[in-house]
Structures are given as C-alpha cells and as structure tokens.
Amino acid sequence: MTPAARLRAMFDAAVAAAQPGEVVARHLPARPSGRVVVVGAGKASAAMAAAVEAAWGPCEGLVVTRYGHAVPCRGVEIVEAAHPVPDAAGEDAARRMLALAEGLGADDLMLAVISGGGSSLLALGAPGVSLADKQALNRALLASGASIDEMNCVRRHVSAVKGGRLAAAAHPARVVSLVISDVPGDDPGDIASGPTVGDAGTLAEARSIVTRYEMDLPDSVRAALDDPANETPAPDDPRLARAEVRMVATPLASLRAAAAVAGLPCLILGDAIEGEARQVGRAMAGIATSVRAHGLPIAAPCILLSGGETTVTLPAGATGRGGRNVEFAMGLMEALDGARGIHAIACDTDGVDGAAEVAGALIGPDTPRAGLAEAMANYDGHGFFAAAGAQVVTGPTLTNVNDFRAILIEAGE
C-alpha cells in the first residue's frame, strides 16, 4: 500500500467510526409513553435523526443541518441552512424549534441530536440582535483568531437558543441530548454552543473576549453583551434538572479507529491540539523530522496521529480560500522543505474545510511546491492544493468529529 493510500484509508476509517448509523442507536434511552419530539442542529444532525427513526420509527420534530447535508426522515422535518455564516433559514428553524420545546409537558421527552456546526445553524439572536447582526458577529469571530471555546462563549450570550436556553424552554419535560463531539476536550457546552447544556460562562467573560481580540461588532451585539437579561442558564438552573447528555462519538474514538487500520505503529499525540494552524504544522514537521532522524519519540516507520481544532487569524487583505487543515498542511510543507520519507493528510471529518467543499489535503515529498509562499501570504490553501493535485474531496460525510491529521514517516535510509 502506498503512503497516500494508507493515509486516506485511515481517514476513511476515522469518519466511518463516527457515522450516526453506527453509534446513535446504542445510546438511545427507553422510549417514554408520552410525547417524543426530536430536535437538533449540526452537520450530522439529519443523519442522527434518521438513525433515531431507524430505531424508533417515525417521530415528530425539527432538525437543521448545513446545505447539502440533509438525510430523508419519515417524520422529523429536515431544514437546510447556511454555515459558517448564518442565514434566514437557520433563524426560522431555531425559532420554530424553540416553540416546539415550549409546548412540552412533564411526561414528554425532547430528544436533541447535536453535532458540530450547530452554532451557525441555530441563528436566532437575543432580543434586539437581527440576523444581519448575527452574520456580522460570525464573520468577526471567524476572522479573529479566537479559540472555539472563546467564540462559543460570545455566541451563547447573544442567542435566544444556545447556552442551555433550548433545554430550559422544554422544562418540565425530560431532555436527552445525543452529541457528536467536534471540539477539543469534548465539552458539550462548546458543541453547537450547548443549546441543551447549562453554561458556567458569563457576560463579563464574553465582553473580555471581544475586547481581547479587538472585534468590530454591531452596536446591537455590544448592547446584548451589556444586558444582564442575556446571562445564560447556569448548570444548576432548576429548569435543567431533567436534562442529560450522552456523547455518542468523539475525536479520540475516531483516531483510535484510524490507528486500528494503519498497519504501522501509531502514536496519538492528542485529540485536543489547538493553536494557529500553520504554526502547528511547523511544529509537527519538527517532530516528524526528529522521528525520522533519531527514532524519537517513536521509531520509524510509524504514523503520528492528532486531532483538535486549530485556528486561522486572517490579516486584512487576505484574498484566498482556505481552512484550518490546508493551513496546517502548508505550514507542514514549508517546514519540511521537501524532506524525503514524510507524508501527511490533514482533513476535516465533515468534508468541509473552512467554507469550501473540500475536506483538506494529502501531501508527500513529491507534492509540487511552486507557489507555496504566495499561497501562504494570501491564505489560499485551497487554491494551492487544487493546483498541486493534492486536494481531498469527499462530499458531505454526514458526521463531524473535528480535524484529522496523520503523518506517515518512513524509515530513514
């Protein structure tokens, strides 16, 4: 098996391990005698709802997913909306979902199917925050360089749905959330900004994040962050006493699934690696070079595996199309400088890196380097790897357990 084929097979195994059809049913609660309403948001949420119906039969409810990620359901309504910048379809879906929750009683169950991407898809703002304001906020967050937990802290405090508000609206019904994690540390409060999870964060923390990253925000968003009424329900809020979370798929489980099919020794460096994407790529190049030259921290031939969610801070005037994974791959290529015997894949497990319908890139010593410096200056990773013939295109994978990175290191000569 060639290095490229081995790395692609590992990525495919990581994605397969997080497929809703494989993981959802085993985490379902007993079906209650009362009313059951399925709600949810995220790139995997439609596939998760379909898995629920495969086990329980047709259900009522409403789920919002990214355009192109819909899966037909027999009873649950599937709405498609925009990601990463929200649109009117996501706003309307969030408003209707909140109304469904508010109609439940003590004998009923709200089953929430949540995955990454839900933050943008649940686009109903706090009072006074319009859709245009939410769009401006998301653009500012995505360009800021803030970590995912920092971005979600801000999002939760300018939302009518996030930060536990959806579960609070369902009180006194029981709420069970089935969650596919796409965040470092698997904190359910950071997955889709935690619509069914109590929030320990505060408005003061959100304001501090906005100041730290010098975000240019609409006046209405700043006013919402100053309004005490927009504090989120705390974890001990009595309205959340009957809410529970069940994690059905995680980045670490997918990394382990990839290691199981590797056919070479694997070292999992971590499932929660963060930092500026190209800088993480440069650091990984140093580790890979050490492995090939000295057999430290593991002897070659071997594979280094990692996951997490890096960030990309866009400077003013950046004109390219990119994402975290292609940024990582460019940083890795730059630092390796054509070193022999080192190959890598860096992909988002949802099949979408940044806003492009491209999962990421697969590189090796022979990947053309022409134009790399210019592409890095313009943050044009997708343009660079398209020209190099090194893109990985999967289409929607219908799951999302964050970024997958594997570096294959051949034995030294």
| Residues 180 and 295 both lie in one domain | no
- Count the domains in the chain: 2
Range of the domain at 357: 3-12+252-409
∠ at Cα 238 (236, 243), nearest 5°? 80
3-state helix, strand, coil in the chain (%, to 5): 40, 20, 40
pLDDT tens digits along 123-173: 999 999 999 999 999 899 988 989 888 999 999 999 999 999 999 999 999
> Please, where are the H alpha helices in 24-156?
45-56, 88-102, 118-121, 131-144, 148-156
For residues 391 and 313, membership in a common domain is answered with yes
Per-residue pLDDT of 200-224, as tens digits, reads 999 999 999 999 999 999 999 999 9
Are residues 186 and 43 located together in one domain of the fold?
yes
Distance CA 136, CA 396 (A): 26
Q: CA torsion 314→315→316→317, rounded to 10°? A: -80
Residue (of 340, 381, 386, 343) closest to 11 by Cα position: 343
Task: Let me know: does 259 contact 281? Beta carbons within 8 Å.
Answer: no
If one counts every other C-beta atom within 10 angstroms of the C-beta of residue 237, the result is 16
Same domain, 268 and 127: no
CATH of the domain at 366: 3.40.1480.10
d(CA 284, CA 336): 9
Which pTM does this prediction carry? 0.92
CATH number of the domain to which 30 belongs: 3.40.50.10180
Residues 126 and 244 reside in one and the same domain: yes
Q: Which of 108, 134, 129, 126 is nearest to 29 (CA)?
A: 108
Q: Is the bond preceding 84 in cis, omega lying within 30 degrees of 0?
A: yes
**Which residue among 217, 249, 281 closes a domain?**
249
Claim to verify: residue 139 and residue 228 sit in the same structural domain = yes
The answer on 271 and 395 residing in a single domain is yes
Cα 87 → chain centroid: 18
Average pLDDT over every residue of 103-129: 96
Quick check: 181 and 247 in contact, CB under 8 A? yes
Contacts 24+ apart (CB under 8 A), 369-377: 369/333, 369/338, 372/330, 372/333, 372/334, 373/334, 375/320, 375/330, 376/278, 376/330, 376/331, 376/334
Residues 316-367 have pLDDT tens digits of 888 899 999 999 999 999 999 999 999 999 999 999 999 889 999 999 999 9
Pairing of strands 109-114, 266-273: unpaired
- For 232, which DSSP code? P
Query: Of 183, 217, 249, at which residue does a domain stop?
Result: 249
Which of 233, 249, 265 represents a domain boundary (last residue)? 249
Residue 300 vs residues 22, 139, 366, 409, 412: alpha-carbon distances, Å: 33, 42, 20, 6, 7
Together in a domain, 337 and 288: yes
User: Mean of the pLDDT values across residues 14-23?
Assistant: 97
* Domain shared by 226 and 103, yes or no: yes
- Indicate if 90 and 206 belong to the same structural domain: yes
pLDDT digits (tens, 9 = 90+) for 261-274: 999 999 999 999 99
Cα 196 off chain centre by:
17
Across the strands, what pairs with 68? none
Looking at the structure, do residues 245 and 343 belong to the same domain, yes or no?
no
d(C-alpha 70, C-alpha 63), whole Å = 9
How far is it, in rounded angstroms, from Cα 203 to Cα 211?
A: 12
Instruction: Kindly state the helix (H) or strand (E) to which residue 78 belongs, with its residue range.
Output: strand 77-81
Which pLDDT value is given to residue 316?
85
Greatest alpha-carbon pair distance for the chain in Å reads 69
pLDDT of 413 higher than 80: no
Same domain, 265 and 216: no
In this structure, are strands 36-41 and 391-392 parallel, antiparallel, or unpaired? unpaired
Q: List the beta bridge partners of residue 352.
A: none
48-86 pLDDT, tens per residue? Answer: 999 999 999 999 999 999 999 999 999 999 999 999 889
Q: What does the pLDDT look like over 182-203, one tens digit per residue?
A: 988 899 999 999 999 999 999 9
Phi-psi region of 185 (alpha: psi -120 to 50; beta: other; left: phi over 0): left
**The pLDDT of residue 201:** 95
Q: How far apart are CA 91 and CA 96, in angstroms?
A: 9
